[in-house]
Structure 1
């Protein structure tokens, strides 16, 4: 969609305005009861991810505005992952969703075993939740299906997902943001700098601009909203989406990433 990372205050202000505007339009629509063209499981999950993206985008905008840019970056990373996974499942349908569910079920089963081995107590609710999504039942005989294996490989590794969606440039940004999601030197140097005399100077506020983050947050919110609006009767958010794209000088066609042609 856009590879804009420069510190452009004017564009960032526009991005925050249209991003928050889409969130508000979505809230109004949800309040009036959106009508879906199909009520299948795929639409159900996409709708949930859409609201997750809206709420996460709203949280990121708030953090950026209040000067917590470093704290907003992990949220942007989550936004990018959800938005791209939405596009993947939207186009792959039930097969793509089943791959997501199967991968999650396998991960959860392995995690539960490790928690038991580590001596964690009070796991009853977690065991009940995971038992409802047992990999043997969720995946069935899909392990014999080569296409399922390919889809599973895409959702289980974000680099593979960006390749499948022909969005490799998003992986670079995703990896860059991961250095704020883990204990790395970047999170330390954001708040503490050692000068030539070895004095440690603390920068409590760390007032970075947050302009690139605001722009990318808005883009993720726009794409997620585009995907779900296409599944609503009458495409009710189309005008809002196109206005948002035009405001950011972005094309109004081919809004969401597409599966790479083989």
Structure 2
């Protein structure tokens, strides 16, 4: 059976039914305490599972908020869902080569944070700003992993890698409500000029 989706209340209702079922299946899986994983996916599984679970729980939180009448307050959750969904697509596409790239990306982020904290006089654990990268520059695949790390680290790079530039518009729109801006203020108050 195939469904044709359109921007309508019927499609929303159908999508919600599927989503509720998927969410219930996710919760049921968690209750089992384990999952069988094909051998070739064992390395990527913990990351994919973690992102998938975060997406599921963020979706539940999003539904809870919107069901209680919240709107832009839930936008950061939707942005996070979009980001992590594309991260899963990216990792599925690049396969195990994405794992060292993710480690490099996490290393660069942690290294940058430790150096900034130290620069600002924060007390950091000894050597926290001197950790060696998880992939040395002598590794024959170092350039490939750093390129993939750069592709992953920036949402714009990920959408370009999949020729899905329109998703960047969605991400940018949601970002307006994820950071302090005129958009977040304008939802709650408008200036009315009633004269002097």
TM-score, normalising length: structure 1: 0.64
Instruction: Within 5 Å, give how 1:151-230 maps onto structure 2.
Output: 151-197=148-194
Cα deviation 1:4-46 (Å, max 9, x = unaligned): 996x444334333322321111111222232111363211111
Cα deviation 1:95-114 (Å, max 9, x = unaligned): 11221220121111111121
Instruction: Within 5 Å, give how 1:31-180 maps onto structure 2.
Output: 31-32=31-32, 33-38=34-39, 40-121=42-123, 123-124=124-125, 134=131, 136-141=132-137, 142=139, 145-180=142-177
Structure 1, unaligned runs of 5 or more = 200-262
- Mark the CA change 1:5 to 1:168 in structure 2 (over 3 Å): closer, same or farther: farther
Q: Aligned pair 1:27/2:27, yes or no?
A: yes
| Bigger Cα displacement from structure 2, 72-81 vs 23-32 | 23-32
Cα pair 2:176 2:183 within 8 Å, conserved: yes
**Aligned residue pair count:** 189
Cα pair 2:76 2:177 within 8 Å, conserved: yes
Cα pair 2:107 2:133 within 8 Å, conserved: no
- RMSD value, Cα: 2.7
Secondary structure of the equivalent of 1:93? helix
Cα deviation 1:160-216 (Å, max 9, x = unaligned): 1001122211111001111111111110001111123279xxxxxxxxxxxxxxxxx
User: 2: CA distance between counterparts of 1:12 and 1:70?
Assistant: 19
Cα pair 1:20 1:58 within 8 Å, conserved: no
Secondary structure of the equivalent of 2:134? helix
User: 1: CA distance between counterparts of 2:111 and 2:92?
Assistant: 26
User: 1: CA distance between counterparts of 2:115 and 2:58?
Assistant: 30
User: 1: CA distance between counterparts of 2:164 and 2:23?
Assistant: 25
